[in-house]
């Protein structure tokens, strides 16, 4: 395209839609569940005539995540303020109703993002303030639990009985609060104290995590790309709970270790550092795309021991050559991910009891397949980022019932203490690692550990 034609096209291109209309479109597209929210934001706001300025883009992103974190509450308030009777949230109906999506996003608009909206559209900012002031006067004491707590009814029914009455609001508040940014210091290259000092020298308010020995925490999002500690491989983004899962594996130099569901490789990287880059570390996953993302991270971390391989499924015949030969196997199983709702609030709405049951069945199959690889005396770790017993204790109990003659369960407390994790007793429930966002400040995780009998 010539410069003159490009100039005419730019002049003819329509301006971006009004902010609240854009906000409604973002919610509608996210509720289609074809892409995660960050991809929806990038596609909708980052190109062509819809491109918006960075401040408004940030405000729209913050609002989308705020809306998803308590979607049924905002939906209920929107219905009340419009004079419609209370009704259960039906995602398809909400997605089809642009006006309802606009109201939901207006009610969810964070105070910290209001100035950006005011600069872009003063009338829209006034509408947001008016609706939020009206909503503040609505008493939800007698409302349905999903409206009061902002979570799906099925999820409330499964989570609430696990906690004391006084703890339940604390969990809800934690799940609906943006998560901090946790980092893992690469012990192959640097000590935690050095990495901490380097980040603080750059003006980042980092501090050590309370449990993970190699963890650092930033209170909010920060751009790490381009910063020397990140580019040099000193730190990687990894939630503290995920780091504690790796501590349970306890991989050592020279061993053969398998990360059975490696994904993009966060735990693979941590295992490689734990092994001091000596031995053989296999990263298996069914997604070639996810494994491809691991390659540059390995180079940055300085790891050479990793062999990544896409597998068809847990029954892939190529796994047979490792049967009974692996020192440690980590199964970070696919799950409904509700322990990560602070970061991925859309997962609460993507799943239902049927998908929980489907995941639990898949988890049982994967765990049984991975157990075949463990050598006598070797260790098997099963982990999820779910808070649901169906995906956690029930799967572990079923494994015990079927494989207890070959595998002995190990207490997580003993292994955490061996890994020099401080206050390890606060992290366990019975023989299992059990992490809760409101108790431990990290994502929700579960882990069970076994040793294969000799």
User: What stretch of H or E contains 445?
Assistant: strand 445-452
Residue 243, C-beta contacts closer than 8 angstroms, at least 6 positions apart: 182, 184, 209, 212, 214, 215, 270
User: Which is nearest to 273 in space by CA: 191, 182, 189?
Assistant: 189
Establish whether 313 is an annotated binding residue. yes
| Cβ 193 vs Cβ 214: under 8 Å | no
Q: Mind giving me the DSSP string for 43-84?
A: HHHSSGGG---HHHHHHHHHHHHHHHHTHHHHHHHHHHHTTP
What backbone torsions phi and psi does residue 332 show, to the nearest 5 degrees? -90, 85
Catalytic residue chosen out of the listed positions 146, 261, 335, 385: 385
- Strand duo 407-410 + 428-429: pairing: unpaired
Q: Is residue 385 annotated as part of the catalytic site, yes or no?
A: yes
* Dist CA 429 CA 133 (whole Å): 43
User: Which is nearest to 346 in space by CA: 38, 25, 58?
Assistant: 38
* Dist CA 402 CA 99 (whole Å): 53
Establish whether 38 is an annotated binding residue. no
Scored b (16 or more CB within 10 A) or e, 13-25 reads: eeebeebbbbbbb
Say which DSSP state 257 is in.
Answer: E
Establish whether 320 is an annotated binding residue. no
370 to 249, 373, 402, 449: CA distances (angstroms): 14, 6, 14, 13
CB neighbours (10 Å) of residue 368? 15
* Dist CA 181 CA 191 (whole Å): 19
Say which DSSP state 214 is in.
Answer: T
* Dist CA 216 CA 236 (whole Å): 10
Please list the active-site residues.
385
Summarize the annotated binding site as residue ranges: 285, 313, 332
Summarize the annotated binding site for S-adenosyl-L-methionine as residue ranges: 285, 313, 332
């Amino acid at each position: 395209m010539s410069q003159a034609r490009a100039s005419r096209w730019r002049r003819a291109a329509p301006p971006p839609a009004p902010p609240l209309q854009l906000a409604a479109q973002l919610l509608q597209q996210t509720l289609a569940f074809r892409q995660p929210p960050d991809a929806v934001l990038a596609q909708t706001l980052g190109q062509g005539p819809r491109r918006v300025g960075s401040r408004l883009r940030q405000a729209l992103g913050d609002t989308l995540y705020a809306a998803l974190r308590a979607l049924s509450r905002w939906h209920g308030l929107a219905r009340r303020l419009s004079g419609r009777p209370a009704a259960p949230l039906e995602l398809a109906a909400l997605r089809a109703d642009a006006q309802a999506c606009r109201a939901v996003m207006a009610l969810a608009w964070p105070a910290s993002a209001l100035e950006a909206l005011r600069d872009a559209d003063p009338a829209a900012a006034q509408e947001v303030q008016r609706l939020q002031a009206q909503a503040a006067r609505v008493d939800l004491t007698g409302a349905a639990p999903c409206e009061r707590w902002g979570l799906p009814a099925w999820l409330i029914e499964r989570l609430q009985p696990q906690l004391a009455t006084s703890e339940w609001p604390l969990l809800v508040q934690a799940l609906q609060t943006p998560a901090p940014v946790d980092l893992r210091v690469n012990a192959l290259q640097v000590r935690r104290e050095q990495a901490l000092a380097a980040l603080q020298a750059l003006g980042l308010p980092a501090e050590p995590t309370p449990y993970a020995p190699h963890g650092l925490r930033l209170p909010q999002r920060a751009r790490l790309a381009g910063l020397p500690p990140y580019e040099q491989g000193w730190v990687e983004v990894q939630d503290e709970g995920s780091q504690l899962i790796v501590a349970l594996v306890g991989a050592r130099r020279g061993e053969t270790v398998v990360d059975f569901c490696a994904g993009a490789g966060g735990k693979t990287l941590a295992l490689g550092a734990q092994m001091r880059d000596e031995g053989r570390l296999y990263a298996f996953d069914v997604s070639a795309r996810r494994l491809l993302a691991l390659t540059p991270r390995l180079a940055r971390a300085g790891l050479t021991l990793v062999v990544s391989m896409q597998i068809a499924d847990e029954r892939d015949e190529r796994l047979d050559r490792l049967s009974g030969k692996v020192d440690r196997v980590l199964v970070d199983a696919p799950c409904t991910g509700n322990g990560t709702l602070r970061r991925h609030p859309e997962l609460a709405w993507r799943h239902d009891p049927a998908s929980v049951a489907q995941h639990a069945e898949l988890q049982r199959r994967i765990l049984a397949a991975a157990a075949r690889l463990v050598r006598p005396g070797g260790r098997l770790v099963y982990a999820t980022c779910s808070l649901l017993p169906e995906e956690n204790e029930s799967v572990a109990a079923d494994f015990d019932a079927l494989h207890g003659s070959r595998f002995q369960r190990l207490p997580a407390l003993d292994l955490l203490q061996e890994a020099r994790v401080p206050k390890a007793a606060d992290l366990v429930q019975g023989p299992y690692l059990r992490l809760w966002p409101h108790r431990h400040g990290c994502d929700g995780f579960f882990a069970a550990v076994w040793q294969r009998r000799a």
